[in-house]
Structure 1
Amino acid sequence: MRTVPGRLRPRSLRTRLVLIATVLATAAVLVCQATGLTLMRSWLVGQVDDRLTDFRPPEPVYRDIADGTAPAHRPPPHETLPSDFRVYFYDADGRLLPASLGSGRGEPHLAEDITARDPADGRPATVPARDGGGSWRVVADSGPDGMRAVVALPLDSVEEATSKLLWFSLAIGAFAAGGVMLLGGAAVRLGLRPLTRVEHTARSITSGRLEQNVAGTSPDTEVGRLGIAFNTMLDQLRAALHRKDRTERRLRRFMADAGHELRTPLTSLQGFAELLLDDPDMSPARRREAHELIAQNADRMSRLVDSLFLLAKLGDAPTTEHGPVDLLSLAADGIAASAARHPDRRIALAPLGAGYGADPAELDVVEASGDPHQLAQVLANLLDNACTHTPPGTRLQVRVGSLRAGPRTGGTDRPGRTSTGPPLPAGTPAQVIEVADDGPGLTPEEAQQVFDRFYRVPPAPDALRDSGSGLGLAIASTIAEAHGGRLELDTAPGAGCTFRLLLPASGGT
């Protein structure tokens, strides 16, 4: 950016504040002094006017002036004029007579001829001096036989007092400006010390010290509130950086796990395909077996890719359809579909209170809001997980109902409960589907990783050997969070597992 020649460089905030305070203080002092000066001059001129209007030449003086018996510039013997007064007389024709009363230095510049109306009687006016500077205050008065007199007083004392006060005002203004500049600079520097701390903290953070905060913040001052906002911004920035680091680590781990999972079926596909190509005389039985293994590995890879695509899609568009969902019908359909896939399993449908001794006959319609297809997939993943990781003969139960979040009922954190979603506030009404089993349960270490992508719990003895891709529970948890709910696990070694899907209720329960 080019610098404009001759343009003033921007000053600091401290300098601008001091300059503004100095200008305002000086202007206030000068305005006050100018007002006082104007009032004092008006008062002094008023005093002169009062003296002029109170003085009237005696009638004998008019006769002596008209007869020419009064000496010019000297008072008559029978009348002594006050000090500084000058009296000039005009005849009946308005001509200035040479005779005048009073003496002293200087005289006013008066007109040689005046009319009957100019100047008006009793109205003081200001006229310049005849010689040199200065001015006079004059007032006209009518006498006998059409004569008129003009009484004059010099304004030297008024102008001298006004001049002294003016110079005094300027000196006071200069002193005030200097004092405000010196003391104001110190006061502004002291007042901006918290802002300076914010500046130093910001510089330290830019140099890499991200854990620093602004100290001494107070909500009672503007700078203190700025410091609080700055600290809040820093906390959010640090939290975002930590989330970014965790996301990057999880992404690297996810890519490594995905590559590892895809490598196995790809290797199998490549191996069996090469076997078919290298041995064209292979027996029909072995050829059929190779074809079946290729199909199985291709299906496994296809399901794995579909799961990965679904996870990515859930992150971009959490819910494609949002509407009322009957959780009881959803549970019944899920149990029927799971029975078709696992005919050797017996899965019961019960009310939510069945886990706490309620009568199974209390089943009732429970309606939630969400995407029915995604919620059905959550239930299918939970049932497949239970059928896969529990030994044959394990009792499975799907429970449907409503609750208020709490440590005993669900929705909040407590020892032995695991979830990747945030806890619901205690007392929040929620609609619930539980998938519970009385199998061997999980250790705390296994429970902490059960919702991680590609994590597989070691299968129980005599459990189904195909342990899946390790993405089912991760997908279910993602769908639950996309609906504003939570998927959690209550388990302990030997106590079975209870997976609980909680969806926020639209109204109170």
Structure 2
Amino acid sequence: MTLTAIAVLLVVLPVTGLTVKAVFDAQAERSLDSLLTGRAQLAQQLARQNVAPGNLVRRIDADGIRVTLILRSGQQLGAPPVDPGGTVRQVRATLQAGQRTRGATLLLSADTALLADASARLRNVLLVSGAAAILITALALVIGMRFALAPLDAMTGLARSIAAGRRGGRLQPERADTELGRTAAAFDEMLDALEGAERTARRSEDRMREFVADAAHELRTPVAGLQTAAETLIQLGPDASASRREELELLLVRESRRAGTLVADLLELSRIDAGLQLHLAQVDLRHLADAQASRLRLVAPDRTIDVAGSATVTADPERLAQVLANLLNNARQAGAHSIHITVGPTGALVADDGPGVPVEVRERIFHRLVHGPQSSGAGLGLAIARGIVRAHGGDLTVTDRADGHRGAAFHLTLPHHSSNPQ
């Protein structure tokens, strides 16, 4: 920027100096011509007033002007005449009036060397002052630019320190009402956003690593069971008893189903993370709850399941049925013997008589691969259920039962505007 400003000065100052000199020279020439013409007109007026020749010469005389009056008789008054040309500018006039001056020749001469000398002095002054102006301006620009652009140096240093791995530095401008101040403030805001995103990404990465490790741990058990059963079958050969073979085959089926369920749940969680595609429709929530209660009665006939209330909501019926199924399975796996479902215009309440959920872990049970000591699941059902409900714009939480009895109460809440009670 300094070099650019100096380059502009190197162009502007000479052009300005040449313009000033040209204007001065032209004005000086016009002034000299005006002076000579004015003196000649004054001489004509004095002649009409019948002023004596000698007095006329004295009255039109002026500094820098050579006056010569040649009468008709040949008599010369004033300065000796000079030949025009070179540095001499001359005006010749014939007087038209006066007893003694009629017909006389008036010569007004001026030496333009004085103008040339003044022009030369002006040129020298312009050169010296222009050079001094360029030098002073260059020094001022260097100092001023260093001071004015100091925030950019600080910004550069901070950016390099961040690139080197050092975090937390900020510019913190004293004034945010200037261009550089606003730039520095925006730079700090950008760093806040970037470091926040970096922390979020690191937390996500840590959670993902933990999730992958937990998933691998959970898969290890059914895979190990499959491997053990398969190897045992191979080692027993065709001579194994039918009961032993049936036992191992049942183990293979059970462990493969367990592994398949876990993989399906992991894929479901990945779809939730990527953003579920919901197919919304008017859903009879009571009908969904009755269907899931009937399913659980077939799987666990020793459980007691009651459904109360009715409502129609706007939701994805398949996804909402999946949420209810996960909640019922969670209650069964936790050891509940009695489950009560209450349907309402804003969602559903699933209460059980299981061991309940301690306050300190009520949020943690919705994390992935987290399950209670009495649960036989993989710890993905509640995470999937909450993810689906939140994709609808609602939420899934857990509290104690409102009636004071032992157990847990899961609140499935949907947005109020998507509900329409019957």
Q: Fold-level match, TM-score > 0.5? A: yes
Residue 282 (structure 1) aligned with residue 240 (structure 2): yes
Question: Sequence identity of aligned pairs in percent?
Answer: 31
Query: Counterpart amino acid of 1:376?
Result: A
Match of 2:384 in 1: 475
Match of 1:488 in 2: 397
Residue-by-residue CA offset, 1:453-472 (whole Å, 9 max, x unaligned): 2222122xxxxxx6222111
Match of 1:50 in 2: 34
For the residues of structure 2 that align with 1:327 and 1:137, how far apart are their CA atoms?
A: 117
Quote how far apart the aligned CAs of 1:31 are: 6.6
1:403-418 equivalences under 5 Å are none
1:32-431 equivalences under 5 Å are 37=21, 40-54=24-38, 55-56=40-41, 80=57, 82=61, 84-85=65-66, 103=79, 107-109=83-85, 129=86, 134=87, 136=89, 138=91, 151-216=108-173, 218-279=175-236, 280-316=238-274, 318-326=275-283, 328=285, 329-343=287-301, 344-350=303-309, 363-368=310-315, 371-393=316-338, 395-402=339-346
Question: Cα distance 1:179–1:257, how it changes in 2: closer, same or farther (>3 A)?
Answer: same
Query: Counterpart amino acid of 1:192?
Result: L
Residue-by-residue CA offset, 1:449-492 (whole Å, 9 max, x unaligned): 31222222122xxxxxx622211112223334444544333359
For the residues of structure 2 that align with 1:258 and 1:60, how far apart are their CA atoms?
A: 122
Conserved in 2, the CA contact under 8 Å of 1:439 and 1:494?
A: no
For the residues of structure 2 that align with 1:138 and 1:438, how far apart are their CA atoms?
A: 129
Quote how far apart the aligned CAs of 1:220 are: 1.0
For the residues of structure 1 that align with 2:8 and 2:196, how far apart are their CA atoms?
A: 46
Quote how far apart the aligned CAs of 1:36 are: 5.5
Conserved in 2, the CA contact under 8 Å of 1:345 and 1:387?
A: no
Quick check: which one's helix share is greater? 2
Match of 2:355 in 1: 440
Quote how far apart the aligned CAs of 1:27 are: 6.3
Question: Cα distance 1:503–1:59, how it changes in 2: closer, same or farther (>3 A)?
Answer: closer
Question: Cα distance 1:383–1:60, how it changes in 2: closer, same or farther (>3 A)?
Answer: closer
Q: Secondary structure at the match of 2:345?
A: strand
For the residues of structure 1 that align with 2:218 and 2:232, how far apart are their CA atoms?
A: 22
Conserved in 2, the CA contact under 8 Å of 1:332 and 1:349?
A: no
For the residues of structure 1 that align with 2:289 and 2:94, how far apart are their CA atoms?
A: 119
Match of 1:68 in 2: none
Pick aligned residue for 2:370 from 425, 431, 455: 455
Q: Secondary structure at the match of 1:454?
A: coil
For the residues of structure 1 that align with 2:163 and 2:153, how far apart are their CA atoms?
A: 15
Q: Secondary structure at the match of 2:177?
A: coil
Conserved in 1, the CA contact under 8 Å of 2:233 and 2:245?
A: yes
C-alpha RMSD of matched pairs (Å):
4.1
**Where do 5+ consecutive residues of structure 1 fail to align?**
1-15, 62-75, 90-97, 110-128, 351-362, 403-431, 460-465
For the residues of structure 2 that align with 1:451 and 1:141, how far apart are their CA atoms?
A: 120
Query: Counterpart amino acid of 1:346?
Result: I
Quote how far apart the aligned CAs of 1:507 are: 7.9
For the residues of structure 1 that align with 2:349 and 2:107, how far apart are their CA atoms?
A: 117
Q: TM-score, normalised by structure 2?
A: 0.77
Report which stretch shifted further, 148-157 or 444-453.
Answer: 148-157
Conserved in 2, the CA contact under 8 Å of 1:327 and 1:400?
A: no
Conserved in 2, the CA contact under 8 Å of 1:440 and 1:494?
A: no
For the residues of structure 2 that align with 1:101 and 1:330, how far apart are their CA atoms?
A: 134
Q: Secondary structure at the match of 1:499?
A: strand
Conserved in 2, the CA contact under 8 Å of 1:86 and 1:153?
A: no
**Where do 5+ consecutive residues of structure 2 fail to align?**
48-52
Residue-by-residue CA offset, 1:313-347 (whole Å, 9 max, x unaligned): 3334x223443343635445444444444442223
Q: TM-score, normalised by structure 1?
A: 0.65
Query: Counterpart amino acid of 2:344?
Result: V
Question: Cα distance 1:313–1:367, how it changes in 2: closer, same or farther (>3 A)?
Answer: closer
Question: Cα distance 1:273–1:149, how it changes in 2: closer, same or farther (>3 A)?
Answer: same
Q: Secondary structure at the match of 2:378?
A: coil
For the residues of structure 2 that align with 1:388 and 1:299, how far apart are their CA atoms?
A: 17
For the residues of structure 2 that align with 1:501 and 1:139, how far apart are their CA atoms?
A: 116
Conserved in 1, the CA contact under 8 Å of 2:69 and 2:104?
A: no
